[in-house]
Amino acid sequence: MWWSEASTHEEGQGFKCLADSERTMVFPREVLNELKWHRGRLEDARITYLHRGAPGDRRTISGSEIVALERSFFTTAESRIPYHRIRLIELDGEALYVDREEVIVEGTP
**Chain segment 40-56, per-residue pLDDT in tens:** 999 999 999 999 988 88
Residue 10 resides in a domain: no
pLDDT at 78 over 50: yes
User: How many domains in the chain?
Assistant: 1
Residue range of the domain that includes 91: 20-98
Distance CA 45, CA 20 (A): 25
Residue 49 resides in a domain: yes
More confident residue, 97 or 100: 97
| pLDDT for 13 | 39
* CA nearest to 81, candidates 66, 98, 91: 66
Residue 1 resides in a domain: no
| pLDDT for 10 | 37
